[in-house]
Structure 1
Amino acid sequence: MIKFFVVTGFALVLANGWVTWWLWRALDHTGWLRPALCLTVAVLGASFPLLYKLGGDSAPEVWLLRAGAFWLGMLFYVFCLVLLMDIWGLASRLWAVPPTTPRWGATLMVVGLPLVIGCASWLNAACPVVRQYDLTIHTSNAVSRQYTHSPLVLGVLADMHLGRIITAPRLVRAMDLLAPYKPDAILYVGDILDDHVLVDVEAMAAALARIQPRLGHWAVPGNHEYISGPIDDSLDILRRSGMRVLRDQWHVLDNAFVLAGRDDISGHMFSGSPRKSLKEILADLPPEHGDLPLFVMDHQPSSLDEARTAGAVLELSGHTHYGQLWPFHWVVENLYENPLGLLIKNGLHSVVSAGTGTWGPPMRNTSRAEVLVVKVHFTPTAN
């Protein structure tokens, strides 16, 4: 984890430094505009990593954090354009084409095009949609008769990342999107919190109270429940908001299925001890529940084979954000067997959400922000 942050920090310093250096060269002989724009880039480039880590909670700090997060989303595209401009400049010198100073057109494109992309991506991220999946699960006659007239309806939220950038009104919007579907249970598959600074537990509880699912609100921790602060504090926030947390535990719901909630796979980097295997989690499951279908909540979809081996029929995950910003969806496609949506393989239905919120840049352009409605149709297993 430390190595990841060191490498990421170095990359951010390099990218912001290159952009600042390019602007300084491009805006020669422009008076005060050159230092003003370069200083703005330097401040925005430093604001998100520093303020996110330091936990500033004053209004100026929060708004500067948000501005830095927005710049972070633009930075990749600005850096790519700057790199192309430098390559073009090098080629022009090789071909003896005299450069123009200042390069107004190039500067406007370097700043303007990523700004347009950023605004469109922000709007895309701020307006979640409902994504619906209809699944057929084979089970015993008793369970299938119980749901003869209507399926089991699960509302699923992942990667809300509530904190200083995304606040409780986003959770209210998600609840309002789910309400018309009258879910039997709402499942929160990790990264509900982004940090503990300015988290409004009462507002979260009020949002959850807008829907009273008969089987309750259930949650598992994600990696950001660890990153945001002490894990016990994160779990306490979730519980006080009205969620029942399953952390390497199981619970039988409606006498129709076993819901197993896994600790996040990254937890050992913070706690020093690995999470339990599914076999260990289910070791004390009474024999009378052994034939019930097994549903698994696991924040990261990185253990699908383990779920298949344990006999799970449904696993709900998030974490991937489907890259969140182009072209990083190609990265998650190579990291995970199922980076997004529904994958049915060897009896396991894996459903991965792109997430309801965002991390870092409040933007999305590889997918829509979403809440899931998973309708499970139970059918008798053929003899």
Structure 2
Amino acid sequence: MRFLFFVTVISVLLLLVGYTTWRGVQFLAIFGNYKYIFAALAGVLFLTLLLNFLMGESLPLSLAQLLSFLGYSYFIFIVYLFFAFLLVDIVLLTNKMMHFIPHVPLFKAVAFGVITTGIVIAMGIGNYRFNHPKIAQLKIEANKPKQQKSVKIVAVSDLHLGFSNGKKYAQKYVKLINEQEPDLVLIVGDMVDRTVKSLLQQSMQEDLKMIQSKDGVYAVLGNHEYFGEGVEQVRQFFEISAIHLLKDENVLIREDFYVIGRDDRINHNRASLADLMGTLDRAKPVILLDHQPFNLEEATNCQIDLQLSGHTHNGQFFPINWVIKKMYEKGYGYLKKNNTHIYVTSGLGIWGPQYRIGTQSELVVIEFGY
């Protein structure tokens, strides 16, 4: 299975690189030797992408991070370039029948310039949107007997900390969380990108310990925590980071309300939500953390007051955000189903390329009244 995945990925990369390089060289034909510079640059960047893909985590950290940024940036660039060149080729094919382009070589060169400039600008904006998260503000009232109280919650998801999103991002995220002066911090999965090895190498536990919260820091597992050494190693890392992991568990906060943390649905043996609700005082509000926003009716049926999810990144890149809207009942943002409030965050971090094209990184601040 892993070999098949590897072959598929390499085949797709070769198709993208081969087509964009071939057409790029042809589009630059009127500029003479510049086409060879483009081809050489494409070859070097492809090698960085391949090296990062094959052995990134075994390289020295600074080199791995550089290769990761360059390689993933090139990947995003050629994906957009691939589809843009396809559109140009459709225009050129139509021109062979209708002859509406007077100077084809010049048209190709201008198209190349406009397309590459547009992609670079979009990537620049996308990197800014990743590095400058917005603060999403919510005010939620639980549908339970009123105690005339409230709690300020900071919810984050999909930090994807690792050798790519390294220590500086952990420090940045902790600072951003603390600036909100939260009562309670909830991490809704995929805090670890894959392996805790890189986090330990960078002593990120020391940074995560600095999160300031009156009522504690609680987290659930996402699918990416299952891709590394194992859940037990992740649990140990959370423990030394002063983060309480809820794996099909609940905790009573202030003796006032519950937080339930579900294991990720990648574990087919996870407990049902009904079982997790079994012994709880139904008069108290319940906040559910469930990384992947599937089967939202479960929360409604169990009279959950607030469900927080992540996972989707809101697509991370245009037009995948449009696909996400079709895949999920709620792929991003706020939804109310009966008396259950649901918020699916786009996530604070990213997976892979450090860009948010058509989307936005975010931290969620919730004033939860009960």
What is the CA–CA distance in structure 2 between the aligned matches of 1:49 and 1:220, rounded to whole Å? 32
Find the counterpart in structure 2 of residue 166 from structure 1.
165
Please say if residues 23 and 107 of structure 1, whose CA atoms lie closer than 8 Å, have aligned partners that are also in contact: yes
Paired letter, 2:235: L
What is the CA–CA distance in structure 2 between the aligned matches of 1:223 and 1:360, rounded to whole Å? 15
Paired letter, 2:133: P
Q: Measure how far apart 1:279 and its partner are.
A: 1.9
Paired letter, 1:232: E
Please say if residues 294 and 314 of structure 1, whose CA atoms lie closer than 8 Å, have aligned partners that are also in contact: yes
What is the CA–CA distance in structure 1 between the aligned matches of 2:314 and 2:7, rounded to whole Å? 24
Greater shift in the superposed pair: 298-307 or 195-204: 195-204
Find the counterpart in structure 1 of residue 58 from structure 2.
56
Find the counterpart in structure 2 of residue 136 from structure 1.
141
Please say if residues 322 and 366 of structure 1, whose CA atoms lie closer than 8 Å, have aligned partners that are also in contact: no
What is the CA–CA distance in structure 2 between the aligned matches of 1:199 and 1:53, rounded to whole Å? 20
Paired letter, 1:91: T
What is the CA–CA distance in structure 1 between the aligned matches of 2:305 and 2:128, rounded to whole Å? 35
The answer for unaligned runs of 5 or more in structure 1 is: 269-273, 379-383
1:81 equivalenced with 2:80 (yes/no)? no
Find the counterpart in structure 1 of residue 73 from structure 2.
70
Distance 1:367 1:295, change over 3 A: same
Q: Measure how far apart 1:372 and its partner are.
A: 0.8
1:360 equivalenced with 2:365 (yes/no)? no
Q: Measure how far apart 1:290 and its partner are.
A: 3.7
1:305 equivalenced with 2:300 (yes/no)? no
What is the CA–CA distance in structure 2 between the aligned matches of 1:10 and 1:27, rounded to whole Å? 26
Paired letter, 2:15: L
Which residue of 325, 330, 334 maps to 1:338?
330
1:276 equivalenced with 2:271 (yes/no)? yes
Find the counterpart in structure 2 of residue 94 from structure 1.
97
Please say if residues 290 and 309 of structure 2, whose CA atoms lie closer than 8 Å, have aligned partners that are also in contact: yes
Please say if residues 201 and 237 of structure 1, whose CA atoms lie closer than 8 Å, have aligned partners that are also in contact: no
Q: Measure how far apart 1:344 and its partner are.
A: 0.8
Find the counterpart in structure 2 of residue 373 from structure 1.
365
Distance 1:330 1:49, change over 3 A: farther
What is the CA–CA distance in structure 1 between the aligned matches of 2:341 and 2:184, rounded to whole Å? 18
Q: Deviations over 1:133-187 (max 9, x none)?
A: 000113235xx14x2xxx2111111111111221232233233233243211111
Secondary structure, counterpart of 1:138 in structure 2: coil
What is the CA–CA distance in structure 2 between the aligned matches of 1:332 and 1:9, rounded to whole Å? 25
Q: Deviations over 1:68-104 (max 9, x none)?
A: 1112222332112211221222223334555327943
Q: Measure how far apart 1:257 and its partner are.
A: 1.3
Q: Measure how far apart 1:203 and its partner are.
A: 4.5
Find the counterpart in structure 2 of residue 271 from structure 1.
none
Q: Measure how far apart 1:374 and its partner are.
A: 0.9
Please say if residues 184 and 214 of structure 1, whose CA atoms lie closer than 8 Å, have aligned partners that are also in contact: yes
Greater shift in the superposed pair: 160-169 or 55-64: 55-64
Find the counterpart in structure 2 of residue 127 from structure 1.
132
Which residue of 286, 296, 301 maps to 2:288?
296
Please say if residues 72 and 360 of structure 1, whose CA atoms lie closer than 8 Å, have aligned partners that are also in contact: no
Q: Measure how far apart 1:373 and its partner are.
A: 0.7
Paired letter, 1:27: L
Find the counterpart in structure 2 of residue 41 from structure 1.
42
What is the CA–CA distance in structure 1 between the aligned matches of 2:140 and 2:205, rounded to whole Å? 30
Q: Deviations over 1:278-324 (max 9, x none)?
A: 123334x25xx343222110111113111112221111111111111
Find the counterpart in structure 2 of residue 111 from structure 1.
116
Q: Measure how far apart 1:350 and its partner are.
A: 0.4
Q: Deviations over 1:36-82 (max 9, x none)?
A: 42243244346446524532332334312211111222233211221
Please say if residues 205 and 237 of structure 2, whose CA atoms lie closer than 8 Å, have aligned partners that are also in contact: no
1:182 equivalenced with 2:181 (yes/no)? yes
Seq. identity, %: 27
Paired letter, 1:280: D
Please say if residues 81 and 119 of structure 2, whose CA atoms lie closer than 8 Å, have aligned partners that are also in contact: yes
Q: State TM-score, norm by structure 1.
A: 0.86
Please say if residues 28 and 102 of structure 1, whose CA atoms lie closer than 8 Å, have aligned partners that are also in contact: no
Find the counterpart in structure 2 of residue 248 from structure 1.
248
What is the CA–CA distance in structure 2 between the aligned matches of 1:325 and 1:124, rounded to whole Å? 11
Distance 1:56 1:40, change over 3 A: farther
Greater shift in the superposed pair: 54-63 or 366-375: 54-63
Distance 1:201 1:336, change over 3 A: farther
Please say if residues 189 and 219 of structure 2, whose CA atoms lie closer than 8 Å, have aligned partners that are also in contact: yes
Please say if residues 45 and 68 of structure 1, whose CA atoms lie closer than 8 Å, have aligned partners that are also in contact: yes
Find the counterpart in structure 1 of residue 28 from structure 2.
27
Secondary structure, counterpart of 1:266 in structure 2: coil
Q: Measure how far apart 1:337 and its partner are.
A: 1.2
Paired letter, 1:89: L
Please say if residues 260 and 297 of structure 1, whose CA atoms lie closer than 8 Å, have aligned partners that are also in contact: yes
Greater shift in the superposed pair: 132-141 or 214-223: 132-141
Secondary structure, counterpart of 1:89 in structure 2: helix
